[in-house]
Structure 1
Amino acid sequence: MAQVLEFKLPDLGEGLTEAEIVRWLVEVGDVVAIDQPVVEVETAKAMVEVPCPYGGVVTARFGEEGSELPVGAPLLTVAVGATEAPASPAPSTSSASPASGASSAGAPAASESSAGSESGSGSGNVLVGYGTGAPAARRRRIQPERVGTPAAPAPAPAPVVEPEPEPVAVPAVAGEVNGQQGPVAVVSPLVRRLARQHEIDLRRLTGSGPDGLILRADVDSAIRRAEEAARAQTRTAPDGPAVAEAPTAGAAAPAAAAERIPLRGVRGAVADKLSRSRSEIPDATCWVDADATELMAARAAMNAASGPSGGPKVSVLALLARICTAALARYPELNSTVDTAAREIVRLPGVHLGFAAQTERGLVVPVVRDAHTRNAESIGAEIARLTELARTGKLSPAQLTGGTFTLNNYGVFGVDGSTPIINHPEAAMLGVGRITPKPWVHNGELAVRQVVQLSLTFDHRVCDGGTAGGFLRYVADCVEQPAVLLRTL
């Protein structure tokens, strides 16, 4: 006897209420083990592989790739508790037990999961967050017509009489793209989905990223080439269709339709947060130019002292982050948030430093936890680790939330200044422009120095301009004279 159990989209944590299906990892008829990932979804904060708490045969899936589902909506149904028959009769298997028969079919984990799920309890690991990380069991396809379960989800688990199915082995596919097999140098699920939507064969593309990695720009270029080829084919078509499609003399050409892009996923979350920040926070911005020549010299000396194999290099961003933590220790008003309901300013005990990072998925802000307890080298190592996770789309929601102050290095885009929107519900953000040679009066003489513009956007409810100016001046002093930091080390 088998039971059909419904697995619903679980609570993914951090107040998220919906998720977009990026890629199904199983199909109807597959045998799944307890805690095997069955679908990859994208929330407003991260990519998440969702494990199924039941073991058995997948009887139905709900939602196509690219569609959004709310938390609590059905994801799939699984027939659990069914026995399995060997793939073909043989003298050696005629008296085999069900467990050995399952093992000979290549899916021992499936029979274990079925036994464990017969009571309907499952693994108990319906995640609030990021899954269990259990290894995926080898999949086998069962003919759907032999399972004996309805394609639509049952309103409640009900026993189903199931004949013994004949298992059909499915060969493992390594790197399947657009229905074709073969390894492909692509990391981002969004790039794969974009290629599928436009019927682009990724195996025919040459990646422009490191080690031939295929980036979104490569897929966009392939899409443009395909569109140009289609237009050229239309222009060279026989006279009949061309004459039929040509506009008559004096007739206005049809207006191009406007493109509509849904605000969802990361882009939608950013839009909601920025709108809320603008509507709730009375922000103000002050800025100052600083001579960063000594800071760059200090960084060069640090990295030279470490030697060729003395550890990772200290980045400019890591030094600026360490300066921020020292400044926040002097001006704790800016490491706070406002409880609008209670009309209270909440000063936070620790600094969880966020830094803005631009990725293929959009702008994200990974958070360095307890930055006030770290030195520049430790902060730099954590920034590098989180940046790599952001680049590959593997940041968890916990790594993208809980920040108390944000450092925004927009100098990487080649610009000098900005007036950014505060990352709600924080109270301030330090912006850093590009460091570039400029004429500067140094020791009473005109000289060429490395100059950077620093800007501070702050919530005027938590402090007045004097506090914000004092914070920014201290940061500028540390940039111009790094020895100032010795007082706080």
Structure 2
Amino acid sequence: MAVVREFTLPDLGEGLTEATVVRWLVEVGEVVAVDQPVVEVETAKALVDVPCPYGGVVTARFGDEGSELPVGSPLLTVAVGSTAPAGPGARGDRAPEEGMGEAGAGTGPTTSGAASESGAGKPGGAAEGSGNVLVGYGTSAAAARRRRVRPAAGAGTAEPTRAQPPEEGPVPVISPLVRRLAREHDLDLREIRGSGPEGLILRTDVERAVRARSAAGAGAGASGATGVTGAPGAADTYGMTGAESRALAYEGLPGEAERIPLRGMRGAAAEKFRRSRQEIPDATCWVDADATELLAARREMNAAGGAKVSLLALLARICTAALARYPQLNATVDMAANEIVRLSAVHLGFAAQTDRGLVVPVVRDAHRRTAEGLTAEMARLTEAARTGQLGLAELTHGTFTLNNYGVFGVDGSTPIINHPEAAMLGVGRISAKPWVHEGELAVRQVVQLSLTFDHRVCDGGTAGGFLRFVADCVERPAVLLRTV
């Protein structure tokens, strides 16, 4: 006889207390093995595949894709010792009134709306397994169900209607956030006609329905409304709750606004930027450097055979040499103790742009690595970042950051320091420019270097000396031989 066991969201380390469900990897009724990944979650640090410690049949899942779950809350239940698919009654995600829709007779187990809406085939979304944010709605099966509930001609307004409910399948909703918004305002999604492709219900459709209902309530109750309560969620003089009033505040904005939750990795980055600007008195200095000789040296290195050396790795090697000469910049400030903490090891972060936003992988002990070693490690971390496979240890505890914004085709920048570090070196694009070389005007490959630093850890003389040393190594790579 099967025993139903509950699997809760485990402690993911690094003091993390919650995670956002990005993608379910199993469905209700599916047989899972011990340690098989069952859900992909996003923490403030990274994407994590969570394995299940039980083997058996999944009988229920908890949490829509896009919802936040605290550590210790239920993720799913598994019938251990059972290998037969669970029946239709094993579904444990949501009730039909929450926007699910009952399956037709004989269709077997039904999963949550969020689960059936994941995977490939989303407009503008990523294929399954890419590790990227899943945007949009529907697998091919879900798309087929949507085609069966296409709205009649003229649909597109979001006023509540008494249209016939769909015969089967979930209500066509673009994301779990739309379902949550409808629940918050006590709206029945079956009474809303979507303006998206094939009748898809968008967030703007729900917001318009909220405004329409509010306007109707205002007309009916304006004559008798005389007071305002200050309690959260209470109706005001126009019969609207605070949330409805805020929705109306955006009605006059041009176009339709899109709301993107600041959570997970995006939220963690936003918090770091805020703390950096709030706590760090930063300053920036910059210099133009002739990178012609550095590019030539790299060509000679790679022409000699063996593993190729990247330009970013050479710049990273220059950074570690500069930090050995100016250790004041490989530091952090302990606000509680009111002390500057100088660090002996260089854990070099480098900015990498991914489909999920900006991440900063960290090369451990970069000061001990050669140019070849830096190239290999940075390539590995970059690929892991793009596929969402970076571990927590590879995204934390950096001591200095290298930001190559030149890949975006820009010359200069004043980046925000990666809190709690003390400095960041920015590298612009390398482009052909007129330059005075050996007393004559010539066309050279010029790059702008910028150093943004915490003015608490050093003064401008130290920062300028660091940046000048970096520029000298770029212009004359032989200077690096002194540190080999």
Within the alignment, does 1:196 sit opposite 2:141 as a pair? no
Once the two structures are TM-superposed, the CA of residue 185 in structure 1 deviates from its matched residue by 6.4
Cα distance between partner residues in 2 of 1:177 and 1:447: 55
With a CA cutoff of 8 Å and minimum separation of 6, indicate the structure with the bigger relative contact order.
Answer: 1
Query: Alignment partner for residue 411 of structure 1, among 403, 406, 413?
Result: 406
Match for residue 362 of structure 1? 357
Distance 1:253 1:447, change over 3 A: closer
Q: In 1, are the aligned partners of 2:121 and 2:138 still within 8 Å (CA)?
A: no
Once the two structures are TM-superposed, the CA of residue 317 in structure 1 deviates from its matched residue by 0.6
Cα distance between partner residues in 2 of 1:54 and 1:228: 40
Q: In 2, are the aligned partners of 1:353 and 1:405 still within 8 Å (CA)?
A: yes
Distance 1:426 1:291, change over 3 A: same
Q: In 1, are the aligned partners of 2:22 and 2:134 still within 8 Å (CA)?
A: no
Alignment of 1:21-420 (within 5 A): 21-80=21-80, 82=81, 141-143=85-87, 145=89, 151=92, 177=119, 187-190=129-132, 192-196=134-138, 256-306=255-305, 310-311=306-307, 313-420=308-415
In the TM superposition, what whole-angstrom CA distance separates every residue of 1:146-175 from its partner, at most 9, and x where no partner exists? Answer: x8xx9599xxxxxxxxxxxxxx99xxxxxx
Once the two structures are TM-superposed, the CA of residue 57 in structure 1 deviates from its matched residue by 3.4
Once the two structures are TM-superposed, the CA of residue 260 in structure 1 deviates from its matched residue by 1.7
Match for residue 191 of structure 2? none
Once the two structures are TM-superposed, the CA of residue 193 in structure 1 deviates from its matched residue by 4.2
Q: In 2, are the aligned partners of 1:22 and 1:190 still within 8 Å (CA)?
A: no
Cα distance between partner residues in 2 of 1:399 and 1:286: 29
Cα distance between partner residues in 2 of 1:369 and 1:477: 25
Cα distance between partner residues in 1 of 2:452 and 2:52: 45
Once the two structures are TM-superposed, the CA of residue 362 in structure 1 deviates from its matched residue by 0.2
Cα distance between partner residues in 2 of 1:403 and 1:385: 17
Cα distance between partner residues in 2 of 1:443 and 1:282: 39
Match for residue 221 of structure 2? none
Q: What's the C-alpha RMSD, in Å, of the aligned pairs?
A: 3.3
Once the two structures are TM-superposed, the CA of residue 3 in structure 1 deviates from its matched residue by 4.3
Once the two structures are TM-superposed, the CA of residue 448 in structure 1 deviates from its matched residue by 1.0
Aligned to 1:15, the other structure's residue is in SS state coil
Cα distance between partner residues in 2 of 1:303 and 1:63: 51
Cα distance between partner residues in 2 of 1:286 and 1:189: 37
Cα distance between partner residues in 1 of 2:288 and 2:354: 28
Aligned to 1:60, the other structure's residue is in SS state strand
In the TM superposition, what whole-angstrom CA distance separates every residue of 1:329-356 from its partner, at most 9, and x where no partner exists? Answer: 0111111111100111111111111100
Cα distance between partner residues in 2 of 1:297 and 1:59: 62
Aligned to 2:72, the other structure's residue is in SS state coil
Match for residue 157 of structure 1? none
Cα distance between partner residues in 1 of 2:22 and 2:253: 35
Distance 1:484 1:410, change over 3 A: same
Q: In 1, are the aligned partners of 2:59 and 2:86 still within 8 Å (CA)?
A: no
**Identity in percent:** 74
Q: In 1, are the aligned partners of 2:26 and 2:39 still within 8 Å (CA)?
A: yes
Once the two structures are TM-superposed, the CA of residue 268 in structure 1 deviates from its matched residue by 1.1
Q: In 2, are the aligned partners of 1:435 and 1:452 still within 8 Å (CA)?
A: yes
Query: Alignment partner for residue 469 of structure 2, among 447, 451, 474?
Result: 474
Q: In 2, are the aligned partners of 1:415 and 1:434 still within 8 Å (CA)?
A: yes
Distance 1:373 1:72, change over 3 A: same
Alignment of 1:424-435 (within 5 A): 424-435=419-430
Once the two structures are TM-superposed, the CA of residue 470 in structure 1 deviates from its matched residue by 0.7
* Paired residues, number: 361
In the TM superposition, what whole-angstrom CA distance separates every residue of 1:42-77 from its partner, at most 9, and x where no partner exists? Answer: 223222111122333333211112222122221122
In the TM superposition, what whole-angstrom CA distance separates every residue of 1:284-335 from its partner, at most 9, and x where no partner exists? Answer: 11111111111111111111112xxx22x21111100000000000111111
Aligned to 1:351, the other structure's residue is in SS state coil
Cα distance between partner residues in 2 of 1:453 and 1:299: 19
Within the alignment, does 1:438 sit opposite 2:437 as a pair? no
Match for residue 423 of structure 1? 418
Once the two structures are TM-superposed, the CA of residue 177 in structure 1 deviates from its matched residue by 4.7
Distance 1:76 1:229, change over 3 A: closer
Structure 1 residues without counterparts, runs of 5 or longer: 85-106, 108-139, 154-167, 170-175, 202-225, 232-251
* Aligned partner letter, 2:52: C
Aligned to 2:26, the other structure's residue is in SS state coil
In the TM superposition, what whole-angstrom CA distance separates every residue of 1:400-455 from its partner, at most 9, and x where no partner exists? Answer: 11111000000011111000000011110000001111111111111111111000
Aligned to 1:461, the other structure's residue is in SS state coil
Distance 1:255 1:347, change over 3 A: closer
Structure 2 residues without counterparts, runs of 5 or longer: 95-107, 110-117, 145-193, 200-250
